[in-house]
Homo-oligomer: A and B are copies of this chain.
């Protein structure tokens, strides 16, 4: 079981629970944070490049964070990030899609000065058809085991 940075191994993989994304959630998030037609209004969404209502990419990102937190890749330690690299939206998330995350440890860099390390996990969100919809690589700080 992972408890510290020291327990992480390159290539280690994680799987999250699932989350169904509802039409109401898509509109509620968009009305607060991304008020654009294809996230808010069915008629406008039909006429858009998406051909129907889609979740804000930032809503997908927020849902992915929730799933990553539930996955507990660093055991008891929080997901504490300096930033994110290679954030990409690959396909739209639509009402009633069911999203889940898979993660893979792609880089581990111990700190030279502090009892911690930087872990990069590449997370990919898939929908219920197994299509990748979103991917991101957070830069996380994880404590090391006391020497």
Contacts and interface: CB of A to CB of B under 8 A. Distances in A.
Interface string A25-67: 0000100111111100000000001000000111101110110
Interface residues of A, number: 31
A12 interface: no
Contacts of A32: 62, 66
Given A33-B62, A61-B61, 18 more contacts: A29-B62, A32-B66, A33-B63, A34-B62, A34-B69, A35-B66, A35-B69, A36-B69, A36-B78, A49-B80, A58-B58, A58-B61, A59-B62, A82-B89, A83-B88, A83-B89, A85-B86, A87-B87
8 contacts: A34-B69, A35-B66, A57-B81, A58-B65, A62-B62, A81-B89, A84-B84, A87-B87
